[in-house]
Structure formats: C-alpha cells, structure tokens
Structure 1
Amino acid sequence: MELRTLRYFVAVAEELHFGRAATRLHMSQPPLSRAIKGLEAEVGAPLLDRSPTGVALTPVGTVLLDEARGLLDHADRVRERVAAAAGHATLAVGILGDGNDPRATRLARAHHRQHPHVETHVRAVDLTDPTCGLHSGAVDVALTRGPFDETGLTVHTLRTDPVGALLRTDDPLARRDGLELADLADRRWFRFPEGTDPRWQAYWHGGEPREGPVVRTVQECQQAVLWSGTVGVTLLDHEPVPGLTVVPLVDMAPSRVVVAWPAGDARPLVRAFVRIAVAAYGD
C-alpha cells in the first residue's frame, strides 16, 4: 500500500464524502475514486458503503482507518526526526487571542506528545487578524475563527459556538431570555479598526455598519461595554467581567472554530497538525 493512497483513504473516511475529500486533497474526484477502488481491490474487500448522499465505513474500512492513521503518523515522525537532525523541524502556529479554549490545550498536549522533536512557535494575535498571519506568511497553520478571506487557504471547521449580545447587567435588555439583532439596531457597538477583514467585521457587527469605540482584544470589548454602555457580540460561554452579562442572540449564526493553512501545503508537519486538531475537537 502506498502512503499517498492511504492518505486519500483517510481523507474520504474522515469526510465521509468523496467531493469534500477531493477538495481537502486539492484534486478532482474521479482520480480519488479510482484510487480508493484500487485500494479496495488490493485489500480484497469493500472499505466504504457508497450512497448518493455520501459514504460510510465498512467494518474492514474501520480497521484500515485506524491502521492507516498509525502508519501515516509514523511516516510523518520519520520525516520529522530526519528534519530535526538537519535542523529544520519547526512549525509556526497562529492562535486567535479570544480566550482559553480547553480543546486548544488538549490539542497542544497531543501535538507535543506526538511530535516532541518539533520546535513549535506560537503567534498569538488580537481580533484584527482572524487569519493569525496566514495571509502574510507569518505562520504555517492557524487555529482561529471564521469567517475571513479564504483566498489561497484551506479551512476546516472544527466546532461551532453560539453567540450572544454582551451587555451591562443594568441594561434593560439584560433581563431578556433572548434577543434579536433588531433589538440592538439603535445602539452603539464596539467595532474593529479600519482595514480589518470585511467578512470578519460583517459577522461580528451583525451584518450592519456600526458606530462606537474601536477595540482590538476581548478585554477591550468587555471594557467598552462596561465603561461606555456600548453593545456587541461575544461567545455565549465566555465568562464576562463582573457587571456584564451575555444574552443569547437567536437570529445569529454560531461562530466557527477552524483550522486553516495555505492551500496546497502538503508538508507533513502541517498535515499532522490538522489531523491532531480534528481529533482534539472531534470527541
């Protein structure tokens, strides 16, 4: 079995869809389908149950997925140790500074456990750069939130989080069980600086132009509400400072936690980071 074919199979098995797997692998669907059929012929048993809506793993496919992940991880570690011996095993990771995520901690531990020879450089950024330096080439991979300009990038959603309106506790709206964006239409909002990604701004501004104080960090968002009585959008499970509360926004799409990397980047360390991120956020 070739490692490349096993990577194809793992992508299909994780996405459970040939089209999404082909997009993830930056290839067209027909050669991917042929490669999986060839692998099934080599194994001598079906690996996938196919249907118009997607695919499902057969018992044989489940076993092969577990074994293939182990083989690919070992192959990546071989490359990694060779790179380390040559002084090249480094990975730059961008992280959005929007609070402590237990899954991110789990990801960091798993990555270090599986890749102890990698020198990982972490670049924590504020809310003005949702790609965490990907577009500028400052990092190899980013753990962040969407939406943002995905030109030249591959983006994989790890989780979605509900959002709410951040309000002072003495705000009349703070007593409500839920709010709609229209309830906040005449209020001043905290907003991001000029030049911040338009897609990112549009999401956190509720799809409308806003007026209010400019902020760059989660802490500045909270202080703007506390001191100025402005409003804004935050994660529903973020613990605000005393004097603030979060009320669910019932008509706003949840925030996406994503892992992103340059499209076409097939370096083993980047692929390994993505696999570990998917596993850390998938349980």
Structure 2
Amino acid sequence: MELRQLRYFVTLAEELHFGRAAAREHIVQSALSQQVQRLERELGVRLLNRSTHHVELTPAGAVFLVEARQILDHVGRAAHAARNAVASPRTLRVGIIDAGYDSMPQILRALQQRHPDLTIHQVEAGTPEQYRQLADGRLDIGIGRASHTPADVASELIRLDPLGVLVPDDHPFAMQNGVPVASLADEPLLLGEDAQTPEFNQFVIELCRSAGFSPIVYEGTVESTRAAADLVLQRRCVLCVPSSSRTSNRPGTVWRPLVEPVTHYPWSLLWRSGVPSAHVAAVIDSARQLARRLGWLETAGSISGREPPTVISSGDDSS
C-alpha cells in the first residue's frame, strides 16, 4: 500500500468525480483509476461503487476513509516536523489569494522593515488550498475569508474591506457615488472560479439574496483580476471587488462602493492551530499594528453616514 494511493482515494472520496479528483492531484484520470483499483485489490474490498455518471463510497470505503485521513494527517505532521528541523530559521512561506490584493503585501512590507534578513516566499492559492497547505506544513501563514475554517487552522480578522463594483467609466453606475446592492439585480456578475474563490463567491451571492434577488451570474470565468477587468471593459459583465484590489485602478473602469447596505469583505490571517512560531507571530503583530494605523477594522465612516455597514458572517472570524 502506497501513500499516494491513500491520497488519491481520499481526494476521490471528497470529490466523488474522477475528473475533478484527477485534476486536484495533477494526474490523468486513467492513472487515478488504476491506483484506486490496485488499492482495492490489495485490501480485498470494494471501496467505491462506480457507474458512468456516478461515484459513491461503499460502507467499507466510508470506514477506510476515516483511517486514511488520519494516516495522511500523521504523515503530514511528520513531514512538517522534519522540514522545520532543517529549514532555514529565516524563511517564511506566505499564502496569498491573488497578487492584485494589497493587504498581505502591505503587511509583508511592514514585516520586512522589522526583519530585513527574513526571506519570504509567496504562494498564490485560494483559501481552501491554503487550508490544506497550512495543515501539511507547506505554508506558514495565509490570508482569506475565514469561512468554514477547519479545526487545525486558527484565524484572526485583520481587515474589513469596503466592497464595491467595477464598471466601465461610461456605465450609469459610474455617475453614482455609491451603488445600491439591489441595483445589481439586472447586471451580469462575474464571479471567480469556484475551486479558487468559493468563499468570495458565496459572500457576493448571499449579499444579493439579502437584498431580495438572486444574481445573474456571467457564465465565463477568468484566472486573474486583470483578465476580469478586461471583461468589464468589454461591457460583458460587472465585477464585485473589494477596495484593496488593484483592479479598482484599471484605466477605463470606475470602482464604486456598494451601499444600501454598505458592505465590507472580511480578511483574516490564517495559520496552523497552536502556538505560532516566532515568524508567524511577527506577521500577526505587524498586521495588528497596520490595522490600527490604517483603520482597517473601522467601519463607522459608511458611505451614507446613516446605515450600519454589513459583513455577512457565515463562519467569519470576528475576534
């Protein structure tokens, strides 16, 4: 029995789809299927029932999944301990959602001023992937919306980021100081790929529903905020984006804050549960100081001056 077979089985059990599981593991679908079949032959039991359009766990598979996850978790912790024993004490691996968002870059600049000898490696990954990499030791700290945070990941809210909409500079919204959320009902909204930004997509959809409508979702997807801005310029859609995104400064477009209600997107630092390392603690401290200095957690200055700002919780860390 090989560890990769356990990993492939766990991934397939989570996805219940050979194509998606193979994509997550960066292998071809046939190789994934062969390895799972070899695992079943070695165990002498069927772990999965398969049909052309359906995959489901057998009772034996459900029991085996619990143990397989524990084995992989133990191996991940062992690998993390081994890497920590030999890794440079001045290297920090940091997860970021997208290079176009400015919260973590500002935090890291402040950190670098205090620790100029620290080597920082930035890894671009969605929040779900950051959770996985934090758990197995490939990341030291990350950033994202702390929604459905697993038990082995700790979080701290560091920024309430005004949410707005990006439109062409000749769009009717561009003439307004603030755009009521209900005004988005007739606009096709561009969301991120759900595998990359499920927590942001959920936030936007819940915001629209709280205003009494289900959004019209633009069918296309993009892999970067720059490509998203291109679609906005082509008038194919509008884009909900926090003020911290550099996309909001794209020539030919205008960013306008959402109002009625004024809405803030919650950014949290993410790290493995337990006492943080000295370098992770330094990042947290730098973020706290920056948040106090720049007022990242202050929401009193709403656009209307009357209504309270909105942050959709759904498990967000508000400590």
TM-score, normalised by the number of residues in structure 1: 0.59
2:258 paired residue number:
249
Q: 1:230, 1:132 → 2: CA distance?
A: 27
State the distance in 1 between where 2:188 and 2:239 align.
8
2:133 is aligned, of 133, 136, 144, to 136
Counterpart for residue 91 of structure 1 = 92
Alpha-carbon shift at residue 245 of structure 1 (Å) = 0.9
Separation (CA, whole Å) in 1 of partners of 2:150 and 2:84: 31
1:280 maps to which of 263, 270, 290: 290
Residues 275 and 132 of structure 1: CA distance in aligned 2, closer, same or farther (over 3 Å): farther
Alpha-carbon distance between aligned partners in 1 of 2:271 and 2:85, rounded to the nearest angstrom = 25
Q: Contact 2:194–2:201 (CA<8 Å) still a contact in 1?
A: no
CA distance in 2, matches of 1:247, 1:154: 33
In 2 relative to 1, CA 132–258 (structure 1 residues): closer, same or farther, beyond 3 Å? farther
Which digits, 9 at most, give the CA deviation of each residue in 1:7-55, with x for residues without a partner? xxxxxxxxxxxxxxxxxxxxxxxxxxxxxxxxxxxxxxxxxxxxxxxxx
Q: Could you say which residue in structure 2 is the equivalent of 1:149? A: 148
Q: Return closer, same or farther for 1:105/1:247 CA change in 2, 3 Å cut-off.
A: closer
* SS at structure 2 position matched to 1:277: helix
Per-residue deviation at 1:235? Answer: 2.6
Aligned to 1:189, the other structure's residue is in SS state: strand
Give the corresponding residue for 1:185: 185
1:17 maps to what in 2? none
CA contact 1:124–1:132 (8 Å) conserved in 2: no
Match for residue 217 of structure 2 among 201, 211, 220: 211
1:250-271 residue CA offsets vs partner (Å, 9 max, x unmatched): 1242122321112225322222
**Whole-angstrom CA distance in 2 between matches of 1:95 and 1:277:** 14
- Amino acid aligned to 1:130: T
Q: Is there any run of 5+ residues in structure 1 with no aligned partner, and where?
A: 1-82
1:162 alignment partner, SS class: strand
| Contact 2:188 2:215 (C-alpha < 8 Å) held by counterparts | no
For 1:164 and 1:100, locate their aligned partners in 2 and report how far apart those are by CA, in whole Å: 14
> What is the deviation of 1:190?
0.8
Partner Cα distance (1:94, 1:270) in 2: 12
Equivalent-residue separation in structure 1 for 2:87 and 2:217 (angstroms): 50
The unaligned stretches of length 5 or more in structure 2 are 1-82, 209-213, 294-319
Give the aligned CA root-mean-square deviation in angstroms: 3.0
- Is 1:167 the counterpart of 2:167 in the alignment? yes
Aligned to 1:33: none
Which range moves more in the overlay, 214-223 or 198-207?
198-207
Change (3 A) 1:252 1:130: farther
**Distance of 1:227 and 1:246 partners within structure 2:** 16
Match of 1:235 among 218, 242, 246: 242
- How many corresponding residue pairs? 196
Deviations 1:57-87 (A, max 9, x none): xxxxxxxxxxxxxxxxxxxxxxxxxx99965
State the one-letter code of the partner of 1:245.
V
**Structure 2 counterpart of 1:169, one-letter code:** D
SS of residue paired to 1:133? helix
- Residues 147/134 of structure 1: CA separation in 2 closer, same or farther (3 Å cut): closer
State how 1:31-180 maps to structure 2 within 5 Å.
Answer: 87-89=87-89, 90-99=91-100, 101=102, 104-125=104-125, 129-130=126-127, 133-137=130-134, 138-142=138-142, 144-152=143-151, 153-180=153-180
Shift in Å, 1:282: 2.2
SS of equivalent residue, structure 1 residue 136: helix
Aligned partner of residue 185 in structure 1, secondary structure: helix
Judged with a 3 Å threshold, the aligned counterparts in structure 2 of structure 1 residues 133 and 177 are, in CA distance, closer, same or farther, namely same
More divergent stretch after superposition (203-212 vs 242-251) = 203-212
**8 Å Cα contact 2:188-2:217 kept in structure 1:** yes
